[in-house]
Structure 1
Amino acid sequence: MFIFIIICICYSVLMLMLLHGWKKIQEFSSENSPAEIRFSIIIPFRNEAENLPILLKSLTEINYPNSKFEIILVNDESEDNSMEIIEGFPQLHSDFRIKVLDNERTSNSPKKDAINTAINSAQFEYIITTDADCQVPENWLKSYNDFILKTGNKLIAAPVAPLYLPPKGGGKIPYFLNFEVLDILCLQISTAGAIGISKAFMCNGANLCYEKDAFLKVSGFAGNDNIASGDDVFLLQKFQQENYKIGFLKSKEVIVYTQPQQSFGDLVSQRIRWASKAPAYKSLFSKFTGVTVLLMNLSLVIGAFLVFLQILPYQPILIIFLVKFNLDFILIYSSAKFFQRETVLRSYFWSSIFYPFFSTYVAVKSLFSDFSWKGRQFKN
């Protein structure tokens, strides 16, 4: 029981640190600065015919001078009609410049190879990455421009949220989607909170901006290109090791919306892929966070079984659960308020009961099994 208490104390300290970091970051408002920063928008894609029309439409609505940005799409061996959709798009938007490249594979990470392929061809000084299943906001580049001019940051993480729409034909939103939204809200505030206390260890490549020269100076993805995922996290850690200025752009005007997973099985597979890179984290804070969160969830799972077997009394385990329940709620509520997703909190109670089992399963599975991604199999 003493070990359970120590884990609970460590978890409580961690959550309070992240909440403090989130509150330290002021919400940013555009300042109508002149459009000085030039951006190369990089978007790898593989078999995204269903999502590309939404992405491309949102890109045409960007409120920024056309001469100040370029769009580089990198085809990672798509087997559907993604290329036909892209090739037909300029015919409808003649003033819209898109460069399409074939991915040049050199490592075990297709996405890192795709970004490297694009950066080798990029003309402008700042790189922005997003995913092909995303929808970017109108003032995306304008807000980044204002933020960079004000802060001088070399790398900027920014918010990502799932599209939260009722199913086609009506009906209720699936329970697993509510669960996914709550999970992403937690990840987003954890990302920002860690940056707010200068302990950055996580970001999302669906909405990430960094200086091209700084990327080249840290040798890009070299050193971790044997790991299939982590194009965002490991680059962030390299920037931090070089003491480059890192910031979180806390603004509703730059939220990138991404398609949610289509099934609970897809959600589990995605989380296993994300978790598979955790053992390669280098910073002490990232290791402390990963171990503490894992142990907290694992202790609740073990505690529940011990209570069921009548080996432990239920009161101490219930108290530990309530500590976690309330701390997590405060954190997620703050995130939900920013993303204007307060209604999803209606699912918080059952999600908080299920999450320790989900998280423990994903963590253990990521350590011992391979994973699939975009129709490919990757070894852990």
Structure 2
Amino acid sequence: MGTLLLGFFILVSLVNLIYFFSFFSFSTSGIKNKLHPEVPVSIIICAKNEEENLRNFLPSILEQDYPDFEIIVINDASADNTLEVIEEFQNIDPRIKVVDVQNNEAFWANKKYALTLGIKKARNQHLLFTDADCAPQSKNWIREMSRNFQPGNTIVLGYGGYFQHTGSILNKLIRFETLLTAIQYFSYARLGSPYMGVGRNLAYTSNQFYELKGFASHLHLRSGDDDLFVNEAATAHNTAICFHPDSITRSVPKTSFSEWFHQKKRHVSVAGFYKTKHKVLLAGFYIFRVLFWLMLVALLILQIYPKIVLGILGVKLITEAFVYIKAARKLNETDVVWLFPFFDIFLIFLQMVIFISNLISKPKHWK
């Protein structure tokens, strides 16, 4: 019986290692030099009750070193002074265009409706999306993201991280989870199976948007304006990834666990609408991580070949550490790596809680 359990544990461990070997495709990849066409770009920002964040972060977009861009700022039925702040910036800089969205019964509090109106307002074909609480980490953000609109590429996946709060374990957890998600979607994209992107740093062409009829297939869902759109539209041939240090954006992270938990509930709720192959891959990654830790504990308690079991654990941790360290260096997240075994275990059980919570109560609209 003990030999049988050990054999199953080895099989589970091998599957876990295969997943992380696939992540080598991103963690060991280099940045390729690409010609820069400097295409005209429309930056699109959807803002709902974001007056303070717009004051703080819109200047970093206006300061971009790029010859031809406009900024479409959408006031999504805000209850604060968001519209007034946008108009103040517009009076200073004519590159800012305002879209003022009023709630209606058919699309009440639907970010996708607001984004659609913003996309229709854009005069340029190449669209670059970010959030009101985001700041590019370089004046070359537009240049590095748009550089990837090479012939045939209609979608560019970027990295949207979070600002660091020194001494906060929650902040490190949020940033580690963001790093792990990026490792996955960058790796799968490099392997020819892109499945998601993040709206904090995402680009695609208006032709791609209209060809897909926008968000029509999932307009009834509150979330998914970024990942569901990419999941439906992205292919091995039309999608590029961008992780140049100058292409990174950072956002204001949640400061309470409750707020972050509800944010994750919204994100996780749309994963069930991904393509079947992506659901299988993501579910498998989660299931085999759970099985590994449960069997590890069981085998050690039962004292079944403990030296072999601990040796397998060591191989797994070394492999994962290599992936995390290499990826974290690319994305400037090195301070979150050292606690990865604890964060990994915590996130496994958190995902289980989120899954059960979503079955009981569906997450609400985006803000």
User: Which interval holds the TM-score relative to the shorter structure?
Assistant: 0.7 to 0.9
Distance 1:312 1:227 in 2: 49
- State yes or no: 1:328 paired with 2:328: no
Alignment length, in residue pairs? Answer: 359
Structure 2 distance, partners of 1:229, 1:134, is: 18
In structure 1, distance between residues paired with 2:8 and 2:220: 36
Q: 5+ residue gaps in structure 2?
A: none
- Please give the secondary structure, in 1, of the residue aligned with 2:254: coil
Spell out the pairing of 1:1-380 with structure 2 (5 A cutoff): 1=5, 5-24=10-29, 26-29=30-33, 31=35, 33=36, 35=38, 37-65=39-67, 68-91=68-91, 93-102=92-101, 106-107=106-107, 110-136=110-136, 137-148=138-149, 150-166=150-166, 173-240=167-234, 245-284=238-277, 286-300=278-292, 302-303=294-295, 315=306, 322=314, 324-375=316-367
Consecutive unaligned residues of structure 1, counting only runs of 5 or more, are: 167-172, 376-380
Q: Deviations over 1:264-293 (max 9, x none)?
A: 222222222111111111141x12222112
In structure 1, how many angstroms separate the alpha carbons of the residues matched to 2:320 and 2:52?
35
Kept in 2: contact 1:185–1:336 (CA 8 A): yes
Once the two structures are TM-superposed, the CA of residue 153 in structure 1 deviates from its matched residue by 0.8
TM-score relative to the length of structure 1: 0.84
Partners of 1:322 and 1:78 in 2: CA distance: 52
User: Cα distance, 1:132 vs. partner?
Assistant: 1.0
Rounded Cα–Cα distance in structure 1 between residues aligned with 2:343 and 2:190: 27
- Give SS of 2:234's match: helix
Cα 1:102/1:70, change in 2 over 3 Å: same
Q: Which moved more, 1:289-298 or 1:155-164?
A: 289-298
RMSD (Å), alpha carbons: 2.8
Identity %: 23
CA distance in 2, matches of 1:108, 1:317: 54
How far does residue 163 in structure 1 lie from its aligned partner after superposition? 1.0
Cα deviation, residue 239, structure 1 = 1.9
Preserved contact between residue 109 and residue 227 of structure 1 (Cα < 8 Å): no
The 3 A distance-change label for structure 1 pair 317 and 113 is farther
Q: Which amino acid aligns with 1:341?
A: E
| CA 1:342–1:277: 2 relative to 1, 3 Å | same
**Residue 131 of structure 2: SS of its match in structure 1?**
coil
Paired letter, 1:237: N
Q: What is the one-letter code of the residue matched to 2:270?
A: K
